[in-house]
Amino acid sequence: MTEPLLRTERLVKRYGGLLATDNVSIDVRPGEIHALIGPNGAGKTTLVHQLTGVVAPDSGAIHFAGRDVTRLATHARVRLGLGRSFQITSVLREFTALENVALAVQGHAGHSFRFLADARHDEALRGPARRLLEEVGLGERAGTLAASLSHGEQRQLEIAMALAGEPSLLLLDEPMAGMGVEESQRLIGFLRALKQKHAMLLIEHDMDAVFQLADRITVLVYGRAIASGTPDEIRANPDVRQAYLGEEAA
Amino acid sequence: MMAALRTPRGLATALILLVLAVLPLLTQAFDQRYLLSIGTRIVIWSIAAVSLNMILGYGGLVSFGHAMFFGIGGYAVGILSAEGVSSGWIQWPVALLAATAWAALIGALSLRTRGLYFIMITLAFAQLVYYVGSGLEAYGGDDGLNISRSRFPGLIDLRDKASFYWLCFALLCASLWFCGRYANSHFGLVLRGAKSNELRMTALGFPVFRYRLAAFTIAGALGGLSGILLANEGAYVSPAMMSWMKSGDLIVIVVLGGMGALFGPLYGTIAFFVLEEALPPLLNLAHKGWGEYWMIVFGPLLVLIALYARGGIDSLLGRRHE
């Protein structure tokens, strides 16, 4: 078995009396899509925040790309190759689609303490940005303000921005949220094509998408990982059926 | 360049700069020396407003203590002058260094907070500087300190009103030039991105704090420069030049002119000074004694700007082409 890209070791996060993350140990291997599912309030977002470095775990460890990153700042994890898209669409609304991605390229290129050169005409940033927009199917919309893009397009833009960092692991927080069926299907095809280059940890409510895409699934309930396995194993798991999938899968 | 002149904004800006460039000649021709003194203060305050715009306008950081840099720059010059160091070659670098170091220090502390807390902490630091200034009994305390103007022997005589004005105007042009480059530079885009969505910029790998600290420090240095000029303009420094009301005036000027617009601080300062000078006599004309209450008109005007012209005067000059 290949060495996992991302591995958590008995992560614990408490909020007062609430155990939001209860000894969670998961891993993501290169080239795979690992889906994290669970009902609302299961602690998915809290877990994502610990992985990205927004909040620190109370105990346990996070290893990424062979390093202990438990105490590393968010931007440093990004530099190591941990890219993410947000649950709530998070683009720079006052910037055009191209400028959004160009900034993402700039973020990956290293420090930006350059005060005099005009970054808006820097082809070293705009060239790759244009290619990324083409790749996610937004080539035509390069000059449009992000605020004016449709919801689905903004999600595509998010992914283009995450890809600009050439991440070895993509953390996708509900990428299908608010998308129509057709848009979702397009995104599913796109993500599948992407997984050879970028492993993914997928947090998603859309079960169709999860079972179509995931190589492995971990089910989170009340902060605990109650099951982990292939989509077929998860479908057949009685605990999962009772706790989460309920009638839907029965 | 020529195309820019055909837009209302380009035309207005070019006219303003042209008038400012020849102002000493105009005031001499019409024998209105008082106007040159106002013009000098407009130019100096514009530099301060440009520096505040660099953090407030482009960074979304509402610093409610920017007048403290008037004080730091001014007092550095004033204290050196009182101690017999009259050379501008020493005074100015020391003052700039002091403003820069102070900005870096309080930036490092205040930028750890957000929103209202940032406003309060910058105000608190400004008040601290204010009370230190008024506690400096050896340097005039509350009454302030008369100083002699900085000397640049053989280069320029700051006592000459026109020369001093042109120096200030040249420094304003340099500030505007730098701010224009800064706004669209790699650095500026990161700062503006962080204003729009800090979390996103962090997720893109930008250590937002460092960028904001650098911006705050640069703005502090430029603010210090305006303090140096202000001290030389009146040959006088006092704690009043850094009261919280002056910090408020600077915010008003930047908002009035248009946050994040390159020439916004210039429009804002001119509008502010013109209203401040023109409203009292106008109101006195309507009814004797009303002039005192010009703020009653000025306040609602600001509310209207805040409600209906979010981009300030700049937005009234048409859409911006970036």
What separation in angstroms does the CA of B223 have from each of A11, A137, B97, B230? 48, 46, 12, 11
Q: Return the SS3 of A187.
A: helix
How much is the average pLDDT of A210-222?
92
- pLDDT tens for A29-84 read 999 999 999 888 888 989 999 999 989 999 999 999 889 999 999 888 988 999 88
More confident residue, B82 or A205: B82
* DSSP assignment string, A76-116: HHHHHTEEEE-SS----TTSBHHHHHHHHHHHHH------S
Q: Which of A10-14, A244-248, B48-52, B66-70 has the lowest mean pLDDT?
A: A244-248
Tell me the chain A residues in contact with residue B208 when contact means C-beta distances shorter than 8 Å.
75
| Contact list, A170 vs chain B (CB under 8 Å) | none
- Compute and round to an integer the Cα radius of gyration of chain B: 20
Q: Is the pLDDT of residue A22 over 80?
A: yes
Q: Which residues of B touch A83 (CB under 8 A)?
A: 203
pLDDT in tens, chain B (322 residues): 567 777 888 999 999 999 999 999 999 999 888 899 999 999 999 999 999 999 999 999 999 999 999 999 999 999 999 999 999 999 999 999 999 999 999 999 999 999 899 999 999 999 999 999 999 999 999 999 999 999 999 899 999 999 999 999 999 999 999 999 999 999 999 999 999 999 889 888 899 999 999 999 999 999 999 999 999 999 999 999 999 999 999 999 999 999 999 999 999 999 999 998 888 898 888 888 888 888 888 888 888 887 888 889 998 888 765 4
The C-alpha atoms of residue A179 and residue A184 are separated, in whole angstroms, by: 6
* Residue A170 · residue A199 · CB < 8 Å: yes
Q: Show residues of chain B in contact with A79, CB under 8 Å.
A: 205
Question: What are B's interface residues with A at a Cβ cutoff of 8 A?
Answer: 178, 181-182, 184-190, 192-193, 196-197, 199-208, 211, 214, 322
Nearest CA in chain A to B209: A75
> Given an 8 Å threshold on Cβ–Cβ distance, is A118 in contact with B193?
no
Quote the pLDDT of residue A250. Answer: 40
Mean pLDDT of A149-154: 87
Q: How far is B217 from chain A (nearest CA, A)?
A: 13
Smallest Cβ–Cβ distance between B185 and the set A78, A94, A118 belongs to A118
Q: What is the pTM of this model?
A: 0.86
In this prediction, residue A181 carries a pLDDT of 85
| pLDDT level of residue A186 (50, 70, 90 thresholds) | confident
Note whether A106 contacts B: Cβ–Cβ < 8 A.
yes
**Domains (ranges, CATH) in chain A?**
6-94+166-249 (3.40.50.300)
Among residues B157, B159, B165, the alpha carbon closest in space to that of B25 is found at B165
Nearest chain B Cα distance for residue A112, angstroms: 5
Report pLDDT for B240: 95
The complex's ipTM? Answer: 0.84
* B-chain residues near A126 (CB < 8 A): none
Q: What is the DSSP string of B58-121?
A: TT----TTTHHHHHHHHHHHHHHHHTT--BHHHHHHHHHHHHHHHHHHHHHHHTTS-HHHHHHH
Residue B22's SS3 state is coil
Nearest CA in chain A to B202: A75
Confidence of residue A249 (pLDDT cuts 50, 70, 90): very low
Whether B52 contacts B226, CB under 8 Å: no
